[in-house]
Chains A and B, each alone.
Chain A
């Protein structure tokens, strides 16, 4: 999948908000790309734009191309797009408590895409649904098909969501902060499960998270987003060994460490990411950046190649301690 110059805006009563500002990225078969950033950095909006899952209006995809198997997903007819959703690309959402329909049995909800996309009969779909629940590690799968979502715990519901997303053997799985709403122990289980499923099924995964620690453990590549821009993009090792953007460095510094005691154990980045009402002419991170200088106020840095696929959008060279 190749995404080029994706731009999404929201038309609100207070004016237009630029949520995604010309993002380009690619995803190769079977690889895991993590998208990292604070809340409001445009991670989820980017991914939902790919399948037009945002409410439109207020959202509008202004430009962009999403090349998937030689087709531009943004240009597809609604019927064709429907076949891609749930068929070729599966989605898992943040909050498993509200993402399942409370009045339908879990079995019905898993079988829906199977019947819709694969044309399975009731009986075949049921059989496949049992397999799927076993695959995601839900004990007593055959009986649990007849349970309602409220009879499952949060972690189990997220497993059901994963089963639904994987129902039709998608080529890509997009996971939108799938562990944020869960307990830490359950988070670890879900991450393990996804790792295992990836080995077994070999689909590509886009993993949206705000936790660089989680991203380190599972990703092949990491894309750091800020205010609707990609600010750094690198292979996972490069990013942790050699973080080039001040924002990435700040994010890494916020990871809790067990080494030191005292007040500095939890670091934070002060301020909030901006909601952009106008397309920025300056670096959107500049107000919060310790290295900001004149140029950052005048020009928004483009994504620059630093060698071996490591890209960064910053006018300051943190390694040399001087402007680029």
Chain B
């Protein structure tokens, strides 16, 4: 297994390099000018100087190389430096700088991660916790009223877009009832019971919207997987051995049914980091998704390039993790 993991990690390197290059070329081909949003009163030559100082218009291979060096050499060295381990001279390292803020891209990303993890991550966890029992019960009691209701709700949750459910919740719970704030306040510091309650309140709606969406999807997977397994011969064997229904369903069937579902869950984790772009936008959660949108709107290529590439790394990584988990959960699969 370790061998397999290392081999896969090595294979990931060329894959990621190719991905990063493709992203770079696509962004380079994209129209857009980082000075486009500056006031029109700025004369053309000043504009050109600004572009030059940002490093726009360099030949693509040079720009790509600089970005690669920034991402793989200077940034890691910078963070090592921050931890007190200085290698070389920190002064002549150029970090990846955002066009829009003129600040390092990584600092921007780090600022945004906590909000995204709290809101989107929590909604994923809740989604899973809701989905698994619903999937199990729906399958065990197939076509019961519980199953029909579950099917209906997950169809709604899956097919109605989050920007609609989000707005609907804002209208009902913020505007009409006034229970929850419609705007997520990132500056809120949780240091007392009151501020904690406030934090919970502002998280309720975005988390609920996303959890509904995630739960709809995962519960369908869980149900289908359970149904596949409930009719297997080994289930009859377990019953013939005189095991209780609880053991039959929650030990024998569930253990088998979880294998594909866990894979789906692992593959979904990177989407947490890419943030729920639309939901974050609606509830004004300034997470990673929102950062990406701002970057695209402002033609902030270093930011967009770096963020997209980080998502790519996470996707490759969690594909590997899903495969490894699969191997652990299913004894029939051996990678070596």
Binding site for B on A (CB under 8 A): 51, 53, 55, 78, 82-87, 90-91, 93, 95, 98-104, 112-113, 116-117, 148, 150, 161, 164-165, 167
Find chain B residues with CB under 8 A from A83 CB: 242
Asked whether, in the complex, the Cβ of A84 is within 8 Å of the Cβ of B242, the reply is yes
Q: Range of interface residues on chain B?
A: 20 to 34
Asked whether, in the complex, the Cβ of A112 is within 8 Å of the Cβ of B240, the reply is no
Find chain A residues with CB under 8 A from B259 CB: 103
Task: Give the one of B236, B240, B255, B259 with max A CB within 10 A.
Answer: B240
A98 CA / B243 CA spacing, docked (Å): 18
Asked whether, in the complex, the Cβ of A82 is within 8 Å of the Cβ of B234, the reply is no
Per-residue interface assignment for chain B, residues 243 to 281, with 1 indicating a CB less than 8 Å from any chain A CB and 0 otherwise: 111010000100110010000000000000000000000
Find chain A residues with CB under 8 A from B329 CB: 103
Asked whether, in the complex, the Cβ of B239 is within 8 Å of the Cβ of A164, the reply is no
Contacts of B95-138 to chain A: CB distance below 8 A: none
Asked whether, in the complex, the Cβ of B243 is within 8 Å of the Cβ of A112, the reply is yes
Known A93-B233, A150-B332: A87·B239 in contact at CB below 8 Å:
no
Q: How far is the CB of A220 from chain B (nearest CB, A)?
A: 24
Find chain A residues with CB under 8 A from B232 CB: 98
Known A53-B236, A95-B233, A150-B332: A102·B241 in contact at CB below 8 Å:
no
A127 CA / B259 CA spacing, docked (Å): 31
Q: How far is the CB of B118 from chain A (nearest CB, A)?
A: 35
Say which residue of B233, B242, B247, B255 sits within 8 Å of A99 (CB atoms).
B233
The answer to the question of B331 belonging to the interface, with a C-beta cut-off of 8 Å to chain A, is yes
Find chain B residues with CB under 8 A from A112 CB: 238, 241, 243, 247
Asked whether, in the complex, the Cβ of B252 is within 8 Å of the Cβ of A102, the reply is no
Asked whether, in the complex, the Cβ of A51 is within 8 Å of the Cβ of B256, the reply is no
The answer to the question of B330 belonging to the interface, with a C-beta cut-off of 8 Å to chain A, is yes
Find chain A residues with CB under 8 A from B233 CB: 93, 95, 98-99
Known A99-B233, A101-B234: A91·B240 in contact at CB below 8 Å:
yes
Find chain B residues with CB under 8 A from A78 CB: 245
Asked whether, in the complex, the Cβ of A86 is within 8 Å of the Cβ of B240, the reply is yes
Q: How far is the CB of A172 from chain B (nearest CB, A)?
A: 12
A82 CA / B240 CA spacing, docked (Å): 8
A167 CA / B240 CA spacing, docked (Å): 12
Known A95-B233, A103-B255: A150·B241 in contact at CB below 8 Å:
no
Find chain B residues with CB under 8 A from A82 CB: 242-244
A51 CA / B240 CA spacing, docked (Å): 8
A176 CA / B154 CA spacing, docked (Å): 41
Task: Give the one of A84, A86, A95, A167 with max B CB within 10 A.
Answer: A86
Asked whether, in the complex, the Cβ of A102 is within 8 Å of the Cβ of B237, the reply is no
A101 CA / B259 CA spacing, docked (Å): 13
Known A93-B233, A150-B332: A102·B256 in contact at CB below 8 Å:
yes
Asked whether, in the complex, the Cβ of B243 is within 8 Å of the Cβ of A100, the reply is no
A85 CA / B239 CA spacing, docked (Å): 8
Asked whether, in the complex, the Cβ of B238 is within 8 Å of the Cβ of A117, the reply is no
Find chain A residues with CB under 8 A from B255 CB: 101, 103-104
Q: How far is the CB of B125 from chain A (nearest CB, A)?
A: 25
Closest to A105 in B: B331
Find chain B residues with CB under 8 A from A86 CB: 240-243
